[in-house]
Chains A and B, each alone.
Chain A
Amino acid sequence: MTNATKLSTHDLDVFYGDKQAINNISMAIESNKVTSFIGPSGCGKSTFLRCFNRMNDVIPSCRVDGQIIMGDQNINDPKLDPVLLRARVGMVFQKPNPFPKSIFENVAYGPRIHGLVSSKSETADVVEDSLKRSGLWNEVHDRLYDPATGLSGGQQQRLCIARAIAVSPEVLLMDEPCSALDPIATTIIENLINELQERFTIIIVTHSMQQAARVSQKTAYFHLGHLIEYGETKDIFTNPKDPQTEAYISGKIG
């Protein structure tokens, strides 16, 4: 098992106007592993996550300083085209947000706009494979052209996952993907994450420590915009080095 670094940040700061949300974080994300970001509400884990696919660009008052290296590029370079970046770093959001189109159209969206498919059959192949890999194929294969909004919450989220992996990104960012779902759907998606990590580097933000313990190999604990501790998941949970981490794990704060 290689410990290659897929993404690393160097002295990363994030500001909303004058307020600083992320303070000087340097860390490395390992390839083909699931890394979880945990911490109390408002600690900045979602903000930090969104730096990896430049989604903070969408917010006008947000400023990101520092470097984020993927391969040999600094993806925080303003000259870098975020469109290309987002084809390499996909995202699944907290609340499922399928487009008001058919199931098929949702999954085919990414490959089409990036010009990765050039025929109907290629598109169909990609859609089928993506739906299979997100565990949704069996449930929808006979109604691919029905509206995506007719699916249940858990199915919609799996659809969003299928949509995200259809362009074969290298990294998958997941921002509290299960917080809007019931426990059964949550389990299905956690199993999915286990399967997906073979091909993708996954970073998951979660407010559930149990979930972090279940799905991730590496865990980072954030508090008020600072990275407090980062290491192997089992070490963080059984033997935290920093007293703040220990306080959060044992429920003293949160």
Chain B
Amino acid sequence: MIPSAITNIFSLTVVLFLTALIVFFIGKSYIVGLSQSQGVRPHSLRQYYGIYAAAWTFVPAILVLLMWTALTQPVLTRLSQTLLLEVYPDINGAMLQLRLAQLQNISTGLISAPDDTMQSIADAQANLRSNANDLKFVVSLLVAFAGAIFAIRQISPEQKARIKWEGFLRRTFFVAAVVAILTTIGIVSSLLFESIRFFSQYSMIDFFFGTHWSPLKAFSSSGGQSEIDGVTQGSFGMLPVMAGTLLVAFIAMMVAVPIGLFAAIYMAEFASARTRNIVKPTLEVLAGVPTVVYGFFAALTVGPFIRDLGLFAGLDISAQSALAAGGVMGIMIIPFISSLSDDVITAVPQSLRDGALGLGSTRGEMITKVVLPAAFPGLIGAFLLAISRAIGETMIVVMAAGVSAQLTINPLDSVTTVTVQIVMLLTGDTEFDSLKTLSAFALGITLFVMTLLLNISALSISRRMGGRYE
């Protein structure tokens, strides 16, 4: 009924904002009028009365608007699902998804309906949507007006408008801070929810301790739900995948730790201030290069190069060796180690250095026998953070490592990692319910827990032994 140019969220936001602006001016002049007629000074400056009333106008309405907009599509989808199930009672998972996608495309005009039933369902959906949008428009405006009236009626010289406004701001800021918690809850709950669905169909023991990973076997003729009969269900033993992750991370650390640590020692103890000011930012450029660039380099230059070297030496190395992916990942991690170690080493008190030198140590002995041992907890923390980074890295391995899971420690082999599998299982045309896609979430929660534990250990180790000097 009401054109969508007005009911869409942008226009509505503008309308609400303008309404609130008007209320602001109304509020301001109202308090001036009131206080003049009553002959008393208002508690707060006039703009606070205005802005408080404007807030009551805008905020509840915009919250209603946002929630309504966010929930329209999910509700419509579920309603359409119900409708479809009524019309096609025997429809199975994959066909249902297909029909829903068709409805979507019909409504955007991409395709025309294959038959009258679908057309009528699409029409019903469009009707519902239009009604919902109209209602949204009306309700939002009503809420805005109600808020405005409620607030304006409260305006009086005794009202502590500024305090109320600041209280409102404070509560809003609090909510902003809580978003961090909400994000974590969102992550944990979505991963947990899907993982539980996975583990209801696949044994946890087999997942965590199985040595065979081939999810591609899990294609099914019944569409969507893999049959648990050992023939069509794929195997989801994640040990080879985890082994791949650890192998690549290990190779990366083998590259990053020596280079990063020695670079940090030199910068912290030997380099002049000028050298340090040039080298440190340059190394940090390595951290700023997007991982897709590293992946590109690893897949298209380093991998083939290693393979060719192998041919030269008579070895048969894949172009997707763990060595290529791990080596380039190591380059990316160098600045993590070098910057963090530099900070940790520099933080060692000068009094320890003086003590060592005063006893007749060379600078080298001072570093290796006193400074480094003193910095040790912080260095371990840096290493753990770097390992966590390596384990969670995605693009380099997606582009340069393989997709077949092998349980191996040979860096010349092609391996796959947890992150690669997550990407492979969830891109392309997959139904959301199949065992394959759910296994990706099981991998995801494993990854999340691992990196969480590493990060926590890193923090606690560097903190625990940190204050021993004073």
Q: Which residues of A contact B (CB under 8 A)?
A: 53, 55, 58, 82-87, 90-91, 93, 95, 97-101, 109-110, 113-114, 147, 149, 160, 163-164, 167
Closest to A85 in B: B360
- Which of A53, A82, A85, A100 contacts B374, CB < 8 Å? A100
- Is A113's CB under 8 angstroms from B355's CB? no
Indicate if the CB atoms of A113 and B358 lie closer than 8 Å: no
7 contacts between A and B (CB under 8 A): A53-B358, A58-B353, A58-B357, A87-B360, A97-B351, A99-B352, A100-B468
Q: Kindly report which residue of chain B lies nearest to residue A101, judged by CB atoms.
A: B373
- Tell whether, in the assembled complex, residue A100 and residue B469 are in contact, meaning their CB atoms are under 8 Å apart: yes
Contacts A99-B370, A113-B365, A149-B469 hold; do A90 and B359 have CB atoms under 8 A apart?
Answer: yes
| Contact of B361 with A83 in the complex, beta carbons under 8 Å | yes
Which residues does chain B contribute within 8 Å of A114, judged by CB atoms?
A: 360
Contact of A113 among B349, B351, B369, B374 (CB under 8 A): B369
B200 at interface by CB-CB < 8 Å: no
Give CA–CA (A9, B354) in the complex, Å: 23
| Dominant secondary structure of chain B at its interface with chain A | helix
Query: Which of B331-376 touch A at CB < 8 Å?
Result: 349, 351-362, 365, 369-370, 373-374
Interface positions of B (Cβ within 8 A of A): 349, 351-362, 365, 369-370, 373-374, 468-469
The answer to whether B361 touches A160 (Cβ under 8 A) is no
Known: A100-B374, A149-B469. A90 touches B351 (CB 8 A): no
Q: With A and B bound together, what is the CA distance between A87 and B349 in angstroms?
A: 23
Smallest CB separation, B393 vs chain A (Å): 34
CB distance from B64 to the nearest CB of A (A): 60
Given A83-B360, A97-B354, A167-B359, CB of A109 within 8 Å of CB of B469? no
Complex contacts, B370 vs chain A, CB 8 Å: 99
CB–CB A149/B359 < 8 A = no
**A110 contacts B354, CB within 8 Å?**
no
Q: Hey, which chain B residues are within 8 Å of A86, CB to CB?
A: 357-360
A83 to B357 Cα, complex, angstroms:
8
Q: Which residues of B contact A97 (CB under 8 A)?
A: 349, 351-352, 354-355
Q: Which residues of B contact A58 (CB under 8 A)?
A: 353-354, 357
**Is the beta-carbon distance between B360 and A113 smaller than 8 angstroms?**
yes
Asked whether B358 lies within 8 Å of A91 as measured between CB atoms, the reply is yes
B353 to chain A: closest residue by CB: A58
Beta-carbon contact of A167 and B354 below 8 Å: no
> Are B355 and A83 interface neighbours, CB within 8 A?
no
With beta carbons under 8 angstroms apart, the residue of B353, B358, B373, B468 that contacts A149 is: B468
- Once A100-B468, A101-B373 are accepted as A-B contacts, the answer to whether A113 and B354 lie under 8 Å apart by CB is no
Q: Cα distance A58–B356 when bound, in Å?
A: 12
**Closest residue of chain A to B354, judged by CB?**
A93
- Residue contact A163 to B359, C-beta cutoff 8 Å: yes
Complex CA distance for A101 and B374, rounded to whole angstroms = 9
The answer for the CA separation of A83 and B359 in the assembled complex, in Å, is 8
Give every chain A residue within 8 A of B362 (Cβ-Cβ). 83
Closest 7 A-B residue pairs measured CB to CB? A86-B360, A91-B358, A97-B351, A97-B355, A87-B360, A110-B359, A100-B374
Q: How far is the CB of A79 from chain B (nearest CB, A)?
A: 16
A143 to chain B, nearest CB (A): 17
Looking at the assembled complex, report how far the CB atom of A116 sits from the nearest CB atom of chain B, in whole angstroms. 11
Contacts of A109 in B (CB 8 A): 356, 359, 369
Please name the residue on chain A nearest to B365 by beta carbon: A113
| A110 vs B352: C-alpha distance when bound (angstroms) | 14
What's the nearest-Cβ distance from chain B to residue A92, in Å?
8
